[in-house]
C-alpha cells in the first residue's frame, strides 16, 4: 500500500521502517526541514540507536505529498499537535484510512484523538483506527517482539490495518472498543508518572506494583463510566501498556516522574527527559473527566496535586496512603 506518515519523531520513524520492511511504499512528512533533511541524508534517528532507515522511505516537508493518493495516513505526532496537523492535511484527505498512534485526550473538548481527527475533518465519511499498546519505539526499531492493538468501530478496517502492520516481530490484535483503547493509552501515562515519582522518592517494587494495580482500577473505573468495554482494560491496550510504561526506562513518563520524585520542578524534569511527556498533557482532561463522571481516581489526583498545585511528592504519597478505607476491598 501507499502510506503517508505525518511526523518524523521516534515512533513515526520506527513505524515507517516497519512498514517499509513490510514492502509498503512509505513517504514521511516532517515540519522541520532541517530535521528531515538530516534523516534523509544520514538514515538514522538520534533517539533510536542502532536503527537504519530504509533507503526506500521518502522524506518531505510538504504535507500534501504525504496525503494525496495514499491508501493510509498515519498521524504520529504528539497529541497536542494532532488537531493542528489534521487541519493542515485536511484539504488532501478524502477516503484514506487514518491511523492515529498518538495517545492523549484534548483538554478543552475532552475528545480522544480519534474524535479530534473526526471533528477536525467535519465528521465526514473517514475511517479512523487507533493503534495502541505496549510498544516502545526503541524496541520496535530493533525488531524486538512486540504486540499492539488495532482499534476501530468498523472491525473490517481494523483488520486491514492489522494486515498492513503485522510481521514476524509485530503481532497485531483487533478491537472495536476505540474509546476504551484510547482511554487506556492516554491515562496510563499519568499512572506512569506516579510510578516514576515513587521510584524517585526511593520507594521499592511493592509501591510500584500497587500503583500499577490500583492505577488500572482507576482507568477502568472511568472507562466503564464512559461506556467502554470492561475487557479492554485487562488486555494489551490496558494492563499491557500500563505495565511497560510504568516499568521501562524507555518511558518518558516514568523518567519524568522519577525526576519529580527527586525534587526537580516540572519544567526541569521535562528538560531532562528531552522529549514530549504525554502524561502531563493528558492530566488536565483526566481531572475534568474524573469530576464529570464522579469517579474516584486518587492516584491521578495525587499526580495533579504534585504537578499543578506544588504539593511535595512525599507528602502527596503519604496523603494517598492515609485515604479513607472505603475502597480497601476493591
Q: Domain spans of the chain?
A: 2-176, 179-327
Q: Residues 308-327: pLDDT tens digits?
A: 999 999 999 999 998 887 66
The residues near 35 (Cβ < 8 Å, ≥ 6 apart) are 8
Q: Residues 247-289: pLDDT tens digits?
A: 998 999 999 999 999 999 999 999 999 999 999 999 999 999 9
Contact 130, 181 (CB under 8 A): yes
Strand partners of residue 6: 29, 75
Strand partners of residue 170: 146
User: Which cell numbers in the block locate residue 124?
Assistant: 465526514
User: Which cell numbers in the block locate residue 15?
Assistant: 513505524
The residues near 199 (Cβ < 8 Å, ≥ 6 apart) are 208, 254, 257, 258, 261
| Residue 188: active-site member | yes
Q: Residues 17-75: pLDDT tens digits?
A: 999 999 999 999 999 999 999 999 999 999 999 999 999 999 999 999 999 999 999 99
Pick the CATH number of 2-176 from 2.30.30.110, 3.40.50.970, 2.160.20.10, 3.40.50.720: 3.40.50.720
Rounded mean pLDDT, 165-187? 98
Q: By C-alpha distance, which of 298, 275, 161 is closest to 222? A: 298
Domain 179-327 has CATH 1.10.1040.10: yes
Q: By C-alpha distance, which of 60, 49, 58 is closest to 24? A: 58
- The active-site residue, picked from 70, 103, 115, 188, is 188
Contact 135, 160 (CB under 8 A): no
Amino acid at each position: 500500500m501507499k502510506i503517508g506518515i505525518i511526523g518524523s519523531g521516534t515512533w513515526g520513524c520506527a513505524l515507517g521502517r516497519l512498514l517499509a520492511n513490510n514492502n509498503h511504499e512509505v513517504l514521511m512528512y516532517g515540519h522541520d526541514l532541517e530535521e528531515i533533511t538530516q534523516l534523509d541524508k544520514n538514515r538514522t534517528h538520534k533517539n533510536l540507536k542502532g536503527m537504519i532507515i530504509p533507503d526506500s522511505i521518502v522524506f518531505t516537508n510538504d504535507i500534501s505529498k504525504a496525503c494525496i493518493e495514499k491508501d493510509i495516513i498515519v498521524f504520529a505526532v504528539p497529541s497536542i499537535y494532532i488537531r493542528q496537523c489534521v487541519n493542515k492535511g485536511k484539504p488532501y484527505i478524502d477516503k484514506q484510512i487514518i491511523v492515529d498512534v498518538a495517545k492523549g485526550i484534548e483538554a478543552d473538548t475532552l475528545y480522544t484523538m480519534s474524535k479530534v481527527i473526526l471533528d477536525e475533518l467535519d465528521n465526514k465519511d473517514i475511517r479512523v483506527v487507533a493503534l495502541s499498546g505496549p510498544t516502545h519505539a526503541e524496541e520496535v526499531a530493533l525488531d524486538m517482539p512486540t504486540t499492539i492493538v488495532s482499534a476501530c468501530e468498523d472491525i473490517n478496517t481494523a483488520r486491514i490495518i492489522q494486515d498492513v502492520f503485522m510481521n514476524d516481530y509485530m503481532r497485531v490484535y483487533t478491537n472495536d472498543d476505540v474509546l476504551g483503547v484510547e482511554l487506556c493509552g492516554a491515562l496510563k501515562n499519568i499512572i506512569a508518572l506516579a510510578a516514576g515519582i515513587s521510584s524517585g522518592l526511593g520507594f521499592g517494587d511493592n509501591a510500584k506494583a500497587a500503583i500499577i494495580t490500583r492505577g488500572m482500577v482507576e482507568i477502568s473505573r472511568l472507562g466503564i463510566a464512559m461506556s467502554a468495554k470492561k475487557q479492554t482494560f485487562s488486555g494489551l491496550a490496558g494492563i499491557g501498556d500500563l505495565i511497560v510504561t510504568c516499568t521501562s526506562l524507555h518511558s518518558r513518563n516514568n523518567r519524568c516522574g522519577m525526576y519529580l520524585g527527586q525534587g526537580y520542578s516540572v519544567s526541569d524534569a521535562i528538560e531532562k527527559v528531552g522529549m514530549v511527556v504525554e502524561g502531563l498533557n493528558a492530566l488536565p482532561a483526566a481531572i475534568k473527566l474524573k469530576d464529570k463522571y464522579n469517579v474516584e481516581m486518587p492516584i491521578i489526583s495525587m499526580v495533579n496535586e504534585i504537578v499543578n498545585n506544588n504539593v511535595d511528592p512525599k507528602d502527596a504519597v503519604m496523603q494517598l496512603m492515609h485515604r479513607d478505607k472505603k475502597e480497601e476491598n476493591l
